[in-house]
């Protein structure tokens, strides 16, 4: 493309409400235009980037075997009444009536629409599994639309929905989607982490989020630097999933373990790589240890509490003075033995139990982050503890946890039968029995990703696009396009790069000076510029790397090879 033919309205003006670099630069570089709160138009460069990201998502989804469909942006309110979400979604769901008084909503997500699509069309287990996806506009009447494309009201999401005959098959597809998502974010050139998450209003049990690491992210993540463990702070502090209580007689079967005293437990655990409370509990339950002690911490807010727990991980509790413990923002407490088999003792602080505080657990010597919501500890019994320890932190190697900020760029859920039951969507299983579908749902914030790329890749001059997301890879800057020899040389390089398959734009504007063109290059953030100017007489050009702003002189004959 030629700059002279493109609509790229760059400006020095920063919108008043734009606090994030992505918001400022995407507006200033002429990618997007705000028309209302949380509503944006995409100008040509913005549309190219959006489509590039969309294409990567589509390719990876197609590779996974999912089918592309398209649901109406408007769905009948009756669907939402059937699922119970007409009210449960709250004011984010924008409802309206047509001239006949029929209720409709602007789709914020499409579980209801997809159940409606497959209901009575897939009737047998033989036609399962199936995964349907779309990349289409969503509307959520967000309470605080802000940060540009990061939290819009109208935005582009890839949403997909899978249907299964069994839970096991749902779990299989969930893993396929996790891998698919990892491929997407890797291809986009993003530094990201997969974390355990809460399911929120969408519902379901297992859920994972894909977090693009950036200081401006709205989410706090608890991450292990040494292994794959990661959780959104809400999930790290969530209530344990309630499971069916274990049979009493099963509990009785647990025999007195080898370790009979807390000292022996401590000795055992010292040699063990797991230090988290959940791991301790797991050891206690499955390896039949005798005593486990839980401690609790209280901080000024959730993050403080979490930090405090982590800080305490370094303390040998036995050796720590109360002052040291307090310095780490800790208020330790033991107390009340709860309903456990005789050979496992757990101490609960009765006073703290009243408050919604974070719980930390440790054996006698190691005090470590555990991440359990204290409210869930009320009436805690053995089965709850099994559920607690089966949470995610067992899956951690025991490394010292870190806290990072992240942008939620995707979220995958194991929904189970929540929607199929509510909407009476069933199939016949291999025994001829009617069953509700097991469902999964999977979202990627396509337009949010446009902003996320820039949050992770920018400097004080502007955007720095990654290879897969850049609107053009190379910007051939003709220093003075009024000089025929410069324009001709530029055009030759431009054509050669295009022929070599490199997405290229040529800044052939006659009315703009070199400095202005360079400023646009830096603000827009194409990965490379080829400057055709002074060096032309010597048969060479300058190649500028946007990331490092380093310049190299390259002979004209070499420039295509240099850039491919
Ligand atoms: P958030 O916690 O940021 O409000 P969410 O958990 O409500 O997001 P999901 O329902 O999980 O969002 O939707 C799937 C994906 O859609 C999210 O992971 C996110 O990338 C994207 N998304 C959600 N809300 C918005 C929004 N208001 N603007 C842009 N993208 C969004
Ligand atoms: Mg939300
Ligand atoms: Mg969320
Ligand atoms: Mg989410």
Nearest CA, atom 22, ligand 1 = 445
- C-beta separation of 507 from 555 below 8 A: no
Q: Is 142 in the pocket of ligand 1 (CB under 6 A)?
A: yes
- C-beta separation of 245 from 256 below 8 A: no
Nearest CA, atom 26, ligand 1 = 151
Q: Is 410 in the pocket of ligand 1 (CB under 6 A)?
A: yes
Q: Measured from the CA of 445, which atom of ligand 1 is nearest?
A: 20
Ligand nearest to the CA of 37: 1
User: The tokens of 257 are what?
Assistant: 């373990």
Q: Does residue 48 carry a pLDDT above 90?
A: yes
Q: Is 203 in the pocket of ligand 1 (CB under 6 A)?
A: no
Nearest CA, atom 27, ligand 1 = 151
Q: Does residue 57 carry a pLDDT above 80?
A: yes
Pocket test for ligand 1, best of 408, 409, 440, 449 (most atoms within 8 A of CB): 408
Report the separation in Å between the CA atom of 196 and the middle of ligand 4, taken as the mean of its atom positions. Answer: 11
Nearest CA, atom 8, ligand 1 = 408
> What does the CA dihedral 87, 90, 96, 102 come to, rounded to 10 degrees?
-10
**Model pLDDT, residue 197:** 87
Write the DSSP string, 340-362.
--TT-B-B--HHHHTS--EEEEE
Q: Is the ipTM of this complex over 0.85?
A: yes
Pocket test for ligand 1, best of 22, 157, 207 (most atoms within 8 A of CB): 157
Report the separation in Å between the CA atom of 314 and the middle of ligand 3, taken as the mean of its atom positions. Answer: 31
CA distance 41 to 22: 15
Q: Measured from the CA of 140, which atom of ligand 1 is nearest?
A: 27
E strands, 437-509, are 438-445, 458-459, 462-463, 474-478, 504-507
Report the separation in Å between the CA atom of 351 and the middle of ligand 3, taken as the mean of its atom positions. Answer: 32
Q: Does residue 286 carry a pLDDT above 70?
A: no
Report the separation in Å between the CA atom of 69 and the middle of ligand 2, taken as the mean of its atom positions. Answer: 23
pLDDT tens-place string over residues 436-450: 999 999 999 999 999
Q: Does residue 298 carry a pLDDT above 60?
A: no
Report the separation in Å between the CA atom of 545 and the middle of ligand 4, taken as the mean of its atom positions. Answer: 36
Give the pLDDT mean for 88-104: 96
Give the pLDDT mean for 145-151: 95
Q: Does residue 208 carry a pLDDT above 50?
A: yes
Q: Measured from the CA of 410, which atom of ligand 1 is nearest?
A: 18
Ligand nearest to the CA of 141: 1
Q: Give the residue, 198 or 91, on which the prediction is more confident.
A: 91
User: The tokens of 315 are what?
Assistant: 């303390």
User: The tokens of 334 are what?
Assistant: 């033991």
Q: Is 445 in the pocket of ligand 1 (CB under 6 A)?
A: yes
Q: Return all residues near 519 (Cβ < 8 A) that are at least 6 apart.
A: 10
Q: Does residue 73 carry a pLDDT above 70?
A: yes
Report the separation in Å between the CA atom of 441 and the middle of ligand 3, taken as the mean of its atom positions. Answer: 14
CA distance 118 to 426: 10
Q: Is 29 helix (H, G, I), strand (E, B) or coil?
A: coil
CA distances from 426 to 160, 167, 170 (A): 19, 15, 16
Q: Does residue 193 carry a pLDDT above 80?
A: yes
Q: Does residue 151 carry a pLDDT above 50?
A: yes
pLDDT band, very low/low/confident/very high, at 199 (cuts 50, 70, 90) = low
Tell me the pLDDT of the chain averaged across its residues.
79
Nearest CA, atom 2, ligand 1 = 408
Pocket test for ligand 1, best of 214, 411, 452 (most atoms within 8 A of CB): 411
Q: Is 289 in the pocket of ligand 1 (CB under 6 A)?
A: no
Q: Give the residue, 2 or 221, on which the prediction is more confident.
A: 2
- C-beta separation of 43 from 6 below 8 A: no
What is residue 395's DSSP assignment?
G
Radius of gyration of the CA atoms of the chain, in A: 28
194 CA to centre of own chain = 7
User: The tokens of 499 are what?
Assistant: 């022929």
**Model pLDDT, residue 345:** 39
Report the separation in Å between the CA atom of 210 and the middle of ligand 4, taken as the mean of its atom positions. Answer: 9
Give the pLDDT mean for 320-333: 36
- Name the burial class of residue 117, with classes exposed (0-12), middle (13-18) and buried (19+) by CB atoms within 10 angstroms of its CB: middle
Nearest CA, atom 23, ligand 1 = 445
Lowest-confidence segment of 6-20, 300-314, 325-339 by average pLDDT: 325-339
Neighbours of 41 (CB within 10 A): 10
Give the pLDDT mean for 100-109: 98
Q: Is 157 in the pocket of ligand 1 (CB under 6 A)?
A: yes
Report the separation in Å between the CA atom of 442 and the middle of ligand 1, taken as the mean of its atom positions. Answer: 11
User: The tokens of 175 are what?
Assistant: 């893993």
Ligand nearest to the CA of 410: 1
pLDDT tens-place string over residues 420-434: 999 999 999 999 999
Lowest-confidence segment of 43-47, 156-160, 206-210, 320-324 by average pLDDT: 320-324
Q: Give the residue, 393 or 397, on which the prediction is more confident.
A: 397
Q: Is 85 in the pocket of ligand 1 (CB under 6 A)?
A: no
Q: Is 409 in the pocket of ligand 1 (CB under 6 A)?
A: yes
Model-level pTM? 0.77
Report the separation in Å between the CA atom of 172 and the middle of ligand 4, taken as the mean of its atom positions. Answer: 21
Q: Is 151 in the pocket of ligand 1 (CB under 6 A)?
A: yes
CA distance 196 to 208: 5
**Model pLDDT, residue 205:** 62
Report the separation in Å between the CA atom of 516 and the middle of ligand 2, taken as the mean of its atom positions. Answer: 40
Q: Measured from the CA of 145, which atom of ligand 1 is nearest?
A: 27
Report the separation in Å between the CA atom of 464 and the middle of ligand 2, taken as the mean of its atom positions. Answer: 27
């Amino acid at each position: 493309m030629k700059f002279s033919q493109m609509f790229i309205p760059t400006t020095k003006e920063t919108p008043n409400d734009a606090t994030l670099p992505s918001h400022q630069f995407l507006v200033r570089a002429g990618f997007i235009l705000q028309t209302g709160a949380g509503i944006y138009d995409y100008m040509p460069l913005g549309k190219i980037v959006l489509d590039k990201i969309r294409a990567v998502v589509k390719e990876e989804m197609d590779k996974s075997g999912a089918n592309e469909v398209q649901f109406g942006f408007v769905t009948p309110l009756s669907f939402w009444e059937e699922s119970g979400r007409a009210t449960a979604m709250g004011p984010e769901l924008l409802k309206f009536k047509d001239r006949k008084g029929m209720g409709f909503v602007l789709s914020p997500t499409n579980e209801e629409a997809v159940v409606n699509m497959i209901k009575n069309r897939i009737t047998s287990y033989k036609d399962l599994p199936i995964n349907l996806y779309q990349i289409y506009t969503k509307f959520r009447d967000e309470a605080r639309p802000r940060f540009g494309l990061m939290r819009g009201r109208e935005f582009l999401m890839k949403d997909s929905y899978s249907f299964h005959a069994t839970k096991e098959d749902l779990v299989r597809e969930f893993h396929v989607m996790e891998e698919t998502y990892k491929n997407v974010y890797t291809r986009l050139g993003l530094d990201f982490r997969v974390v355990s998450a809460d399911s929120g209003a969408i519902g379901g049990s297992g859920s994972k989020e894909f977090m693009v690491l950036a200081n401006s992210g709205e989410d706090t993540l608890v991450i292990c630097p040494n292994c794959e463990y990661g959780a959104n702070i809400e999930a790290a502090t969530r209530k344990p999933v309630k499971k069916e209580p274990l049979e009493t007689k099963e509990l009785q079967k647990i025999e007195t373990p080898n370790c009979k005293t807390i000292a022996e437990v401590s000795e055992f655990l010292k040699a063990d790589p797991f230090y988290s409370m959940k791991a301790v509990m797991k050891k206690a339950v499955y390896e039949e240890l005798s005593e486990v002690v839980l401690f609790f911490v209280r901080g000024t807010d959730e993050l403080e509490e979490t930090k405090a727990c982590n800080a305490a991980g370094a303390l040998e509790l036995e050796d720590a003075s109360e002052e040291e413990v307090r310095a780490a923002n800790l208020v330790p407490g033991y107390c009340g033995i709860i309903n456990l088999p005789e050979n496992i003792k757990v101490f609960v602080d009765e006073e703290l139990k009243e408050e919604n505080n974070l719980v930390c657990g440790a054996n006698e010597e190691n005090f470590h982050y555990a991440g359990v919501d204290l409210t869930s500890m009320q009436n805690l019994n053995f089965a709850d503890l099994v559920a607690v320890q089966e949470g995610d932190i067992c899956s951690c190697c025991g490394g010292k946890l870190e806290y990072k900020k992240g942008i939620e760029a995707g979220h995958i859920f194991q929904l189970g039968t929540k929607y199929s039951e509510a909407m009476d969507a069933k199939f016949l299983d291999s025994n001829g029995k009617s069953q509700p579908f097991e469902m999964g749902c999977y979202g990627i914030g396509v337009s949010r990703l446009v902003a996320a790329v820039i949050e992770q890749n920018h400097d004080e001059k502007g955007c720095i696009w990654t290879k897969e997301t850049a609107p053009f890879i190379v910007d051939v800057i003709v220093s003075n396009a009024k000089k025929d020899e410069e324009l001709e040389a530029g055009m030759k390089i431009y054509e050669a790069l295009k022929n070599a398959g490199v997405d290229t734009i040529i800044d052939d504007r006659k009315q703009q000076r070199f400095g202005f063109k360079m400023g646009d290059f830096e603000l827009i953030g194409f990965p490379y510029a080829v400057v055709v100017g002074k060096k032309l007489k010597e048969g060479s050009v300058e190649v500028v790397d946007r990331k490092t702003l380093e310049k190299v002189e390259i002979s004209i004959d070499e420039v295509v090879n240099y850039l491919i």
